[in-house]
Amino acid sequence: MKILYDNQAAPGFHSGWGFSALVEPSLLFDVGEKAEPLLANIRKFGISLEQVRRVVLSHEHWDHVGGLDVLAECGGVDVYLPRSFSGGIKGRIRQVNDHARIVEVGNDLELADGVIVTRELSGDGNHEISAAVRTPKGLVLLVGCSHPGLDTIMENASRYGDIHAVIGGFHGFSNLEALSRVDVIVPTHCTQHKQEIQARYPEKTRRVAAGSEIRFE
């Protein structure tokens, strides 16, 4: 997994407010705030967007969908988004990639290669979906900003197996005990209690930035 967009960046990469990650070789999760720095980071990694077959957009906030123009460099992709997304965003997707197939997510979707797109959850006045990938050690869960509550998202995803890792923005999540059974914790972007998480789980928590790569079995 490669972190493509984050508030912090490794040398040679661009930072920006927002989040995006690539689950190799073909799943793109969120597209950050702006397309230009996202594309620069993608090229720095040596990634070809033509390999991307699925795009998951967690929620409609600008810092997660602002870089939609990168879809112009993808081929025919399935774009998964909450069914509550506005017509304007859906129209923009079709405008930049007329081969894209929009999939509106209401309930959980278990796809063919161990990928799960989780149901639309509501919280904090927002609607959000997440993605999980099966690995031999459990689920690797990707979250956008966790507006419905990270513990709520984890509880829903855990119906498909134990959660091995959770990656993304945790927002104001403070129920840190809920992370006790997670092996790998990767707080990014909007996580407000990052220092507390690192202090409580120093062996489990990984510090990442745009340009970081995390390997799972």
* CATH number of the domain that residue 55 is part of: 3.60.15.10
Q: Where does residue 29 fall: left (phi above 0), alpha (psi -120 to 50 degrees), or beta otherwise?
A: beta
42 found inside a domain: yes
How many domains, the chain?
Answer: 1
167 found inside a domain: yes
Predicted local confidence at residue 79, as pLDDT:
98
174 three-state secondary structure: coil
Predicted local confidence at residue 124, as pLDDT:
82
| 160-179 average pLDDT score | 97
213 found inside a domain: no
Domain that holds residue 92: 2-200
Predicted local confidence at residue 112, as pLDDT:
79
| 76-101 average pLDDT score | 96
Predicted local confidence at residue 113, as pLDDT:
83
Question: How high does pLDDT run on average in the chain?
Answer: 96
Predicted local confidence at residue 25, as pLDDT:
85
113 or 204, which is more confident: 204
Q: Residue 189: is its pLDDT beyond 90?
A: yes
Q: Residue 217: is its pLDDT beyond 80?
A: no
Q: Is 159 exposed, middle or buried (0-12, 13-18, 19+ CB in 10 A)?
A: exposed
55 found inside a domain: yes
The pTM assigned to this predicted structure is 0.96
Considering the chain, what percentage of its residues have pLDDT values greater than 70?
A: 100
Q: How many Cβ atoms are within 10 Å of 59's Cβ, its own excluded?
A: 25
Q: Are strands 78-82 and 109-110 parallel, antiparallel or unpaired?
A: unpaired
CA dihedral for 107, 53, 43, 215, sign (positive or negative): positive
210 found inside a domain: no
207 found inside a domain: no
What are residue 51's phi and psi, to 5 degrees? -80, -15
Predicted local confidence at residue 82, as pLDDT:
97
How far apart CA 171 and CA 189 sit, in angstroms, is: 8
Q: What is the pLDDT of residues 2-47, one digit of tens each?
A: 999 999 999 999 999 999 999 988 999 999 999 999 999 999 999 9
Q: Sorting pLDDT into bands at 50, 70 and 90, what band is 163?
A: very high
209 found inside a domain: no
Q: Residue 193: is its pLDDT beyond 90?
A: yes
| 69-96 average pLDDT score | 95
**C-alpha to C-alpha distances, 19 to 75, 147, 156, 158, nearest whole angstrom:** 22, 14, 22, 23
Q: Are strands 115-117 and 131-135 parallel, antiparallel or unpaired?
A: antiparallel
Q: What is the pLDDT of residues 108-134, one digit of tens each?
A: 999 978 999 999 999 888 899 999 999
Q: Residue 86: is its pLDDT beyond 90?
A: yes
Helix (H) or strand (E) holding 128: strand 126-128
Q: What helix, strand, coil percent values describe the chain, rounded to 5?
A: 25, 30, 45
| 144-172 average pLDDT score | 96
Q: Sorting pLDDT into bands at 50, 70 and 90, what band is 62?
A: very high
119 found inside a domain: yes
Predicted local confidence at residue 206, as pLDDT:
97
Q: Confirm if 109 and 133 have CB atoms less than 8 A apart.
A: no
Q: Is 84 exposed, middle or buried (0-12, 13-18, 19+ CB in 10 A)?
A: middle
Chain-centre distance for alpha carbon 13:
18
Q: Is 12 exposed, middle or buried (0-12, 13-18, 19+ CB in 10 A)?
A: exposed
Q: How many Cβ atoms are within 10 Å of 154's Cβ, its own excluded?
A: 24
